[in-house]
Amino acid sequence: MILSAPIGTALLTLTKRDLFTSKVSLVDRRCFNSEKMTLERRACILKSLTTTLIVVVLLALTRPLLAQQSENNQLKKVFVNGGELHYLERGQGIPIIFIHGGLADYRYWSLQMEPFSQRYRVIAYSRRYNYPNNNPNIRPDHSAIVEAADLAALIKKLKLGPVHLVGHSYGAYTALFLAVKHPELVRTLVLGEPPALRWVLNLPGGKAVFDEFMSNIWKPAGQAFKHGNQEQALRITIDYFIGKGAFDQLPQEFRAVLTDNIREWKALTTSRDAVPLLRREDARRIKIPTLMITGDRTLRIHQLVNDELERLLSNGERVRIDATHEMWEEQPEKCRQATLTFLFKH
């Protein structure tokens, strides 16, 4: 989320107090009786959304602020591996790179930029197919391995040396592959539930969980993209995480926000191997100090992966947060404090 201070404070208070529950609730249409986007109307909309939709809505409601925020922070761009990567940079000192997850971009970390920049040189970038990068040619083999190669090139291009990496979801998986392939570039790892999904296939009950995920969201969304039906791909995705009919309840202005990062979702769900296997022996060989931040209310497939990763890491520790997979959105202060405490030791 990228919010101005007054509006951001008000909305953040709402998210903590009212919004992040496990219940499914759709947008209350009475919130749209007025054409004027007042704070009261914003609050009405926010109160009637589920955890997953809150990120989408906040981005939509603050769209005019996003461009201003980008300009104020001098959004930069580098070219690596035949593509462009946009990034924001603040502060001085040892570098930290923030890596967002799926259907997100550099703006995901906006609430963290200022606090971390008081002690570190902070960089938040958008991965290859995420907003506002213009990399139209989608690779058929796009994966976290490709993203890790981009990240390595970014670190070298900016001459950052060994860096702290803070990744969420697919960004965390990207960080893991970088640590395996280029440990000399990584000082520490902070991982928010990397989707090493193939590990669950030989865990008790894991194959059924994996098959359910692939059959009900991943493969259908990919097929929809292949048939040129972008809207259906988004419908499948949102309905899976929120509940049947959720996507059709979204106002058009909010659906538009999803399209900012739709190219990445297409690249992943149509890839030949979007979640490549990270070998367990490679994970065991990671000696880099690692902090795992996991959500107590996350999906079962993430729970299985989290427990397995904790078992494999030889130099890791774990902090459990009362949150879903979106722990950095739901509990930004707790995640920040856990990360800063960890970094202070290393």
Does residue 195 form part of some domain? yes
Would you tell me the crossing angle of helices 332-344 and 110-117 to the nearest 10 degrees?
Answer: 30
Of 39, 67, 95, the domain-final residue: 67
Measured in residues, the chain has a length of 346
Total domains in the fold of the chain: 2
Same domain, yes or no, for 9 and 98?
A: no
CATH number, domain containing residue 298: 3.40.50.1820
Does residue 113 form part of some domain? yes
The residues, ordered by sequence, that sit 6+ positions from 226 with a Cβ below 8 Å of its Cβ are 270
**Tokens found for residue 309:** 């990763």
Element (H, E) at 274: none
Rounded to 5°, the CA angle 320-321-325 comes to 100
Same domain, yes or no, for 31 and 113?
A: no
Amino acid making up residue 178:
L
Do 107 and 178 contact (CB within 8 A), yes or no? no
User: How many CA atoms lie less than 13 Å away from 25 in the CB half-sphere?
Assistant: 18
Does residue 228 form part of some domain? no
Tell me how far CA of residue 7 lies from CA of 1, 87, 141, in angstroms. 11, 24, 41
Element (H, E) at 30: none
Same domain, yes or no, for 33 and 91?
A: no
Do 297 and 271 contact (CB within 8 A), yes or no? no
Do 10 and 43 contact (CB within 8 A), yes or no? yes
Per-residue three-class SS string for 118-166: CCCEEEEECCCCCCCCCCCCCCCCCCHHHHHHHHHHHHHHCCCCCEEEE
Same domain, yes or no, for 80 and 38?
A: no
Does residue 255 form part of some domain? no
Same domain, yes or no, for 169 and 304?
A: yes
What is the chain's pLDDT, residue by residue, as a tens digit (346 residues)? 322 222 232 233 333 323 333 333 344 444 444 444 444 444 444 444 444 444 444 444 343 344 445 444 589 999 999 999 999 999 999 999 999 999 899 999 999 999 999 999 999 999 999 999 999 999 999 999 999 999 999 999 999 989 999 999 999 999 999 999 999 999 999 999 999 999 999 999 999 999 999 999 999 999 999 999 999 999 999 898 878 898 999 888 767 767 899 999 999 999 999 999 999 999 999 999 999 999 999 999 999 999 999 999 999 999 999 999 999 999 999 999 999 999 999 9
Same domain, yes or no, for 63 and 98?
A: no
Does residue 218 form part of some domain? no
**Tokens found for residue 80:** 């690596």
In the chain, what's the furthest Cα-to-Cα distance? 58
Same domain, yes or no, for 58 and 143?
A: no
Handedness of CA 331, 332, 334, 339 (dihedral sign): positive
SS3 of residue 224 by DSSP? helix
Same domain, yes or no, for 28 and 177?
A: no
Of 13, 42, 67, the domain-final residue: 67
- Of 284, 270, 342, residue with least CA distance to 312: 284
SS3 of residue 103 by DSSP? coil
Does residue 262 form part of some domain? no
Does residue 38 form part of some domain? yes
Same domain, yes or no, for 187 and 294?
A: yes
Same domain, yes or no, for 21 and 161?
A: no
DSSP 320: E
The residues, ordered by sequence, that sit 6+ positions from 33 with a Cβ below 8 Å of its Cβ are none
d(CA 52, CA 221): 17
Does residue 305 form part of some domain? yes
Do 246 and 235 contact (CB within 8 A), yes or no? no
Same domain, yes or no, for 102 and 186?
A: yes
SS3 of residue 288 by DSSP? coil
Of 31, 51, 67, the domain-final residue: 67
Same domain, yes or no, for 156 and 294?
A: yes
**Tokens found for residue 292:** 């795992």
The predicted structure's pLDDT at residue 242: 78
| Structural domain that includes position 285 | 75-202+273-344
- Of 41, 78, 231, 51, residue with least CA distance to 153: 78
d(CA 45, CA 22): 17
**Tokens found for residue 168:** 């969420």
